[in-house]
Amino acid sequence: MKYDKKSVEDIDVHGKKVLVRCDFNVPQDETGKITNDKRIVASIPTIRYLLDHHAKVILCSHLGRPKGKFDLKYSLKPVAESLSKILGFTVKLAPDAIGEGAKNLAESLREGEAILLENVRFYPEEEANDPEFAKKLASLADIYVNDAFGTSHRAHASTAGVAAFLPAVCGYLIQKEITVMGSALENPKRPLVAILGGAKVSDKIGVINNLLEKCDTIIIGGGMGYTFLKALGKEIGKSLLEADKLDYARDMVKKASEKGVKFLLPKDSLAADSFAADSPFIATEDENIPADKMGLDIGPKTIEAYRNAIKGAGTVIWNGPMGVFEFDAFSMGTSAIAEAIVNEKGVISIIGGGDSVSAVKKLGYSDRMTHISTGGGASLEFLEGIELPGIACLLDK
C-alpha cells in the first residue's frame, strides 16, 4: 500500500461541498449521554481547516451497531450537539443519510457551515459497500475526505465506496497515522524494536510475519508468550496455550534466527493460582511455570532483559500488553515497558491500538509517546502490511 496520499491541503475546497467520513463512534451511558468525546475532538482540526477554507462541510459517521435498521438509540443527535458546542455554531443533523432530508440540508449549506448526516449504518447497504448507496452518498458532495482511521480497514460505502465517484483525499488524522506508521515500517530510525503482547498468537500471526522482515528485535510478552515457550519445550502450567500454533511458533523462532533478528521470550513470570485480581502468585525462577499455576505477567528477570533490549532503540512499535494489566498485581510488566520507552531519549515510540493504548493511558504514559494510533483493528492490519481499503482508495500524491 502506498502511504503518500493527498490530504485536504492538496485540493481546492473553496466553495465545494465536502463529504467527510469521521469516526464519531463515541461511548455513551444508558441515557445516551456521551461519556468520552475524544474522537469528536480529534476530528476538529480537519473540520476547522475545511470551514476556514470556505468549504461546505457534510459530516458522516457510524455509531454502534444498529444492524442496518433505523434505531434512535444509535442516532448521531448527541454528536451533533457536541460538535455544535465545540465549533460555536449549530451543526444541523439530517434525518437520514441519503434521503430528501440529507439532500435538502446539503443543498442549503453555505460556505463555512457544516451539517451531520444521520448514522450511515442505519442502512444495510453501508456495510455491504453497495455501489448504488455509495453513489447516492457521493452525490451530496464534490469532494470526499476520509478522516476515520479506525474504520479504514473496512471496505464500506462511506469509507471506500464513495471514492469511486468523488476525488478522495485524507484528513489530518489519517495523514498522521500513515505518515508516522508508514515511515516506521518502510524507513525506520534504527534499531527498530517491536514489542508484541496480548492473549493469542493467532491474533498476531500477520504482524509477526511482516515485522520479521523489517525489525532488528522482536519482544514477545502477554499470554501469547506461553505458546512460544511451550513450543520450545518449557513447562507452562495452566497458562494460556494455543496448541494448534506450536509449529508456527517454532517456525517463527527459527526464521528469526536465520534472519539475524533478536527474538526475545520471557525468562520468568508472575505465576498465579487462578485468573483473578487477588490471586496469590509467585515469581518463577526461570521460564518454567509450576503445573498448578498460570502466568499472568512477565517477571523481574524478563523486565530487566526487555529494558536492555529497548535501550538504544531508534524506533519502538508496541502492540499488546505484557500481562493482565487490568489487575494491578499483574500490571508491573506493562508499566515497566512503558516506562522504559518514555525514558529512552530520542526514540520514536508508536503504540499500535487496542489494549496497548488502554494500558498506556491507564498507566499515565500516553502524553509521552510519539504516536498513539486511533485504530484498533486498523492498526493491527496496518502493521501486518495489509492494504486498508479506506486508505488505498485515496488519491496518491
Told to judge if 99 belongs to the known catalytic residues of this protein, a careful annotator would answer no
Residue closest to 59 by CA, chosen among 94, 100, 9: 94
DSSP 121: G
Contact 283, 302 (CB under 8 A): no
Which position among 99, 101, 182, 377 bears the catalytic label?
377
Which position among 21, 39, 238, 293 bears the catalytic label?
39
Judged by phi (left if over 0) then psi (alpha if -120 to 50, else beta), residue 67 lies in left
Told to judge if 200 belongs to the known catalytic residues of this protein, a careful annotator would answer yes
Q: How many other C-beta atoms are found inside a 10 Å radius of the C-beta of residue 59?
A: 27
Which position among 6, 135, 200, 214 bears the catalytic label?
200
The alpha carbon dihedral of 72, 76, 78, 84 has a sign of negative
Size of the chain, expressed as the number of residues it contains: 397
- Answer whether the bond into residue 191 is a cis peptide, omega within 30°: yes
Residues in Cβ contact with 149 at an 8 Å cutoff, skipping those fewer than 6 apart: 23, 173, 174, 177, 373, 374, 375, 378, 390
Contact 159, 170 (CB under 8 A): no
Q: How many other C-beta atoms are found inside a 10 Å radius of the C-beta of residue 358?
A: 16
Q: Which ranges constitute the DSSP H helices of the chain? A: 38-52, 77-87, 100-108, 124-127, 131-138, 172-186, 205-211, 224-231, 246-259, 300-310, 332-342, 355-362, 377-384, 389-392
Percentages of the chain per state (helix, strand, coil), in multiples of 5: 40, 15, 45
Told to judge if 377 belongs to the known catalytic residues of this protein, a careful annotator would answer yes
Which position among 354, 375, 376, 390 bears the catalytic label?
354
Told to judge if 262 belongs to the known catalytic residues of this protein, a careful annotator would answer no
Cell of 218: 522482536
Query: Which SS3 state, helix, strand or coil, does residue 198 take?
Result: coil
**Annotated catalytic sites, by residue?**
39, 200, 354, 377
